[in-house]
């Protein structure tokens, strides 16, 4: 989950001088904010600072990051014809700045903790590209899948191939693990989930040249965990609305589970933070295969000392569970 | 689910002359838009036109309905002290306009179809009252439940008593069924769901004087359906992300199920609408206990003729399933 961000004064200091996209595109700065949570809150993995929308941006779409509105594209994809606008050749070459950031970050980390790289899943990327701006109902992308499924599938295929290339390049550049985020998987009806989201995640997982790097799949809001069991991945990420013990019993020990504390617990008094962290550990139970994490990214108004406290709690409490 | 609304030109004609709250508060107009979908699209139940936030408004909060922003309160509840501002006596008396709308609507319907009344569940009402405006992360209300759970529970208790009074008055005024909506139940972690949402729905269900009127509970995004089985209600509403057949097998035949077509299917070509409607019917399977419905309200840009077509399809296809 996102662990660099506005809750850290050190991050805000950099953002005051640099807009979001420039930060993503400047390896020295991206690596600096990537390492901040390792130094400041003591997490035991770094997550390369970036954004899932660098892929459509590298395809030539005009991405704007407006703090209050979320990301927007003023040239959304709405039809088969619009697909011709996408520059789908050499996408990963235009994302060389990400690979450079990985190399600089690995130097800065000097082996202290592993580095995780991520990509949006095709369905989530397509959602942003087609809607063009924030939406509550996702009616534009759904209109596309219901009225012109062929165009939707063409877009999803294009994205899938780019994600494969992109994640393989990240692994080659030094990422120790990769995560595929399907933030909007949970808005789909069961059949649509299979057809427009999961089959493309499956496609990607089967084509990754992992060289031993674990692959994490996080399909937010997908409660039919059984549908994720056969993916060629190592870890399933869970949001905070699921009982991680229940998830474990449904998924079996074929995958590790990552999660799943509600990020809002970090607003609570310390006693409650500890209690809720222990609840997650206890719910998972004993044995290996649990990557303690939040169920989503750290929120901008989170007190830094609470994030530090959570990390201390987990390090203190987890040995008796994770053997 | 909401079936009156902006997708109907007849509704828009009334809204051009009347703001949203005035429409809710004018029995003649509220009843007119309530009956519109019965006449125009042929649904076999009417849903009293209103808004869940009339309860906090009747408690003295300043509600504004801004089309592009959603509902806002400029005087949100943020602490125990703020609760003293709420005028909790005689709430249902100040909602007499709703009861009047029920009476006028019943006259207009003249027994053609039953009338359903609804209320927001305490958790969802509290979310709007505490956040005060649209939110993506629900961090303000969550901050309250984690830092000052006593204040949150006081608010939820006040709301629960008002909802009981309000729904009982609706039943007495003539509603043939009532529905409790917990739109934001799905943002809570499992323990918080029990503590801040479900226990208050349970409280309400146990205190309704139904006089035979079925009670529908719709806790959106709650996938642990097992937690709803023991509620004293007759029907469980499902959003479109669940497989209704799977839900039936998990819930058993103790409750009827309402749902659960994705409202965005109404943007599809007719062939697809029919196919998806039949999929829902088939997934539920044969036997009684299925109330065909959308998984959420009709969206403003939905073509009217598609809603009419869906109703015709369901009437044509369902007899072979519902015997």
CA-nearest of A83, A73, A185, A75 to A134 is A73
pLDDT recorded at residue B323? 67
Q: Which residue of A has its CA nearest to B189?
A: A241
Question: Cβ contact (<8 Å) for B264 and A143?
Answer: yes
Q: Considering chain B, what is the average pLDDT of its residues?
A: 96
Q: How confident is the model at residue A323 (pLDDT cuts 50, 70, 90)?
A: low
CA angle A149, A153, A156 (to 5 degrees): 140
Judged against a pLDDT cut of 70, whether residue B105 lies above it is answered with: yes
Whether residue B300 lies inside any domain: the answer is no
Of the candidates A139, A246, A262, the beta carbon closest to that of B267 is on A139
Mean pLDDT along residues A106-116:
98
**DSSP at B147:** H
Q: Which residues face B119 on adjacent strands?
A: B180
Question: Cβ contact (<8 Å) for A262 and B192?
Answer: yes
Q: How far apart are CA A36 and CA B105, in angstroms?
A: 62
pLDDT in tens, B17-67: 999 999 999 999 999 999 999 999 999 999 999 999 999 999 999 999 987
Whether residue A273 lies inside any domain: the answer is no
Whether residue B76 lies inside any domain: the answer is yes
pLDDT recorded at residue B248? 96
Instruction: Say if B309 is an interface residue toward chain A (CB within 8 Å).
Output: no
What is the token pair recorded at B210? 């139904």
Instruction: Say if B68 is an interface residue toward chain A (CB within 8 Å).
Output: no
Question: Cβ contact (<8 Å) for B264 and A191?
Answer: no
The CA distance from B69 to the nearest CA of chain A, in Å, is 11
Contact between A144 and A135 under an 8 Å Cβ cutoff? The reply is: no
Of the candidates B139, B147, B193, the beta carbon closest to that of A301 is on B139
Considering the entire predicted model, what is its pTM? 0.95
CA angle A260, A266, A271 (to 5 degrees): 100
Whether residue A224 lies inside any domain: the answer is yes
Whether residue B267 lies inside any domain: the answer is no
Q: Which residues face B237 on adjacent strands?
A: B258
Q: How confident is the model at residue A213 (pLDDT cuts 50, 70, 90)?
A: very high
pLDDT in tens, B57-84: 999 999 999 877 789 999 999 999 999 9
Whether residue A277 lies inside any domain: the answer is no
Question: Cβ contact (<8 Å) for A241 and B295?
Answer: no
Domain total of chain A: 1
Whether residue B310 lies inside any domain: the answer is no
Look at strands B63-66 and B70-73 and give their pairing. antiparallel
Contact between B258 and B240 under an 8 Å Cβ cutoff? The reply is: no
Question: Cβ contact (<8 Å) for A267 and B243?
Answer: no
CATH number at residue B88: 3.20.20.210
pLDDT recorded at residue B112? 98
- Coil, strand or helix at B254: helix
Of the candidates B138, B223, B265, the beta carbon closest to that of A146 is on B265
pLDDT in tens, A124-163: 999 999 999 988 899 999 999 999 999 999 999 999 999 9
Chain A residues within an 8 Å CB radius of B150? none
Instruction: Say if B224 is an interface residue toward chain A (CB within 8 Å).
Output: yes
Cα torsion B265, B270, B272, B276 to 10°: value is: 60
- Residue length of chain B: 323
Percent of chain A with pLDDT over 90: 93
Q: How far apart are CA A136 and CA A120, in angstroms?
A: 19
Q: How confident is the model at residue A286 (pLDDT cuts 50, 70, 90)?
A: very high
* Residue of B78, B190, B246 to mutate for A, most A C-beta atoms under 10 A: B190
Instruction: Say if B243 is an interface residue toward chain A (CB within 8 Å).
Output: yes
CA-nearest of B251, B199, B202, B196 to B223 is B251
Q: How far apart are CA A44 and CA B174, in angstroms?
A: 61
pLDDT recorded at residue B67? 75
Is A2 labeled as catalytic in the residue annotation?
yes
Question: Cβ contact (<8 Å) for A188 and B265?
Answer: no
Which of the residues A7, A11, A78, A128 is marked catalytic? A128
- Distant-in-sequence contacts of B133-138, Cβ < 8 A, 24+ apart: B133/B69, B133/B70, B133/B71, B133/B72, B133/B73, B133/B76, B134/B69, B134/B70, B134/B72, B137/A263, B137/A264, B137/A299, B138/A264, B138/B184, B138/B187
Contact between B3 and B37 under an 8 Å Cβ cutoff? The reply is: yes
Q: How far apart are CA B293 and CA B291, in angstroms?
A: 6
- Coil, strand or helix at A152: helix
Instruction: Say if B264 is an interface residue toward chain A (CB within 8 Å).
Output: yes
The more confident residue out of B2 and A49 is A49
Q: How confident is the model at residue B148 (pLDDT cuts 50, 70, 90)?
A: very high
Question: Cβ contact (<8 Å) for A187 and B221?
Answer: no
Judged against a pLDDT cut of 80, whether residue A322 lies above it is answered with: no
Mean pLDDT along residues A288-295:
95
Phi and psi torsions of A177, nearest 5°: -160, 155
The residues of B annotated with a catalytic role in the active site are: 2, 6, 15, 51, 128
Question: Cβ contact (<8 Å) for A146 and B240?
Answer: no
Contact between A127 and A93 under an 8 Å Cβ cutoff? The reply is: no
Q: How confident is the model at residue B253 (pLDDT cuts 50, 70, 90)?
A: confident
Q: Considering chain A, what is the average pLDDT of its residues?
A: 96
Judged against a pLDDT cut of 90, whether residue B280 lies above it is answered with: yes
pLDDT in tens, B124-136: 999 999 999 988 8
Whether residue B245 lies inside any domain: the answer is no
pLDDT in tens, A173-207: 999 999 999 999 999 999 999 999 999 999 999 99
ipTM surpasses cut 0.90: yes
Of the candidates A188, A190, A242, the beta carbon closest to that of B243 is on A190
- List Cα–Cα distances, B2 to A51, B32, B35, B55, in angstroms: 36, 15, 12, 18
Question: Cβ contact (<8 Å) for A241 and B264?
Answer: no
Residue with tokens 């949970």: A186
Chain A residues within an 8 Å CB radius of B262? 142, 189, 192
**How far is C-alpha A239 from the chain's CA centre?**
12
Chain B residues within an 8 Å CB radius of A147? 267-269
Percent of chain A with pLDDT over 70: 100
Mean pLDDT along residues B110-118:
98
Percent of chain B with pLDDT over 70: 100
Of the candidates A146, A147, A299, the beta carbon closest to that of B139 is on A299
Q: Which residue of B has its CA nearest to A272?
A: B146
Domain that holds residue A127: 9-237
């Amino acid at each position: 989950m996102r662990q660099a961000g506005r809750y850290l004064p050190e991050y805000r200091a950099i953002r005051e001088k640099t807009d979001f996209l420039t930060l993503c595109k400047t390896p020295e700065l991206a690596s600096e904010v990537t390492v901040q949570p390792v130094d400041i809150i003591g997490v035991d993995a770094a997550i390369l600072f970036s954004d899932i929308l660098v892929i459509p941006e590298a395809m030539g779409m005009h991405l704007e990051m407006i703090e209050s509105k979320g990301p927007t594209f003023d040239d959304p994809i709405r039809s088969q014809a619009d697909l011709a606008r996408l520059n789908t050749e050499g996408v990963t070459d235009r994302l060389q700045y990400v690979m450079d950031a990985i190399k600089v970050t690995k130097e800065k980390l000097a082996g202290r903790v592993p580095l995780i790289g991520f990509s949006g899943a095709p369905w989530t990327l397509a959602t942003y590209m087609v809607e063009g701006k924030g939406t509550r109902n996702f009616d534009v992308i759904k209109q596309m899948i219901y009225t012109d499924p062929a165009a939707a599938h063409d877009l999803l295929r294009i994205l899938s191939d780019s994600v494969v290339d992109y994640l393989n390049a990240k692994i080659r550049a030094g990422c120790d693990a990769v995560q595929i985020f399907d933030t909007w998987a949970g808005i789909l009806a069961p059949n649509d989930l299979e057809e427009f989201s999961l089959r493309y995640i499956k496609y990607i997982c089967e084509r990754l040249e992992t060289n031993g790097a674990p692959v994490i799949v996080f399909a937010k809001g997908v409660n039919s965990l059984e549908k994720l069991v056969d993916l060629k991945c190592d870890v399933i990420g869970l949001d905070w609305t699921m009982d991680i013990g229940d998830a474990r019993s449904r998924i079996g020990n074929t995958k590790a589970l990552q999660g799943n504390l509600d990020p809002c617990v970090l607003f609570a008094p310390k006693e409650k933070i500890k209690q809720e962290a222990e609840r997650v550990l206890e719910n998972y139970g004993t044995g290996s295969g649990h990557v303690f994490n939040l169920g989503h990214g750290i929120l901008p108004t989170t007190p830094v000392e609470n994030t530090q406290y959570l990390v201390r709690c987990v390090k203190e409490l987890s040995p008796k569970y994770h053997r």
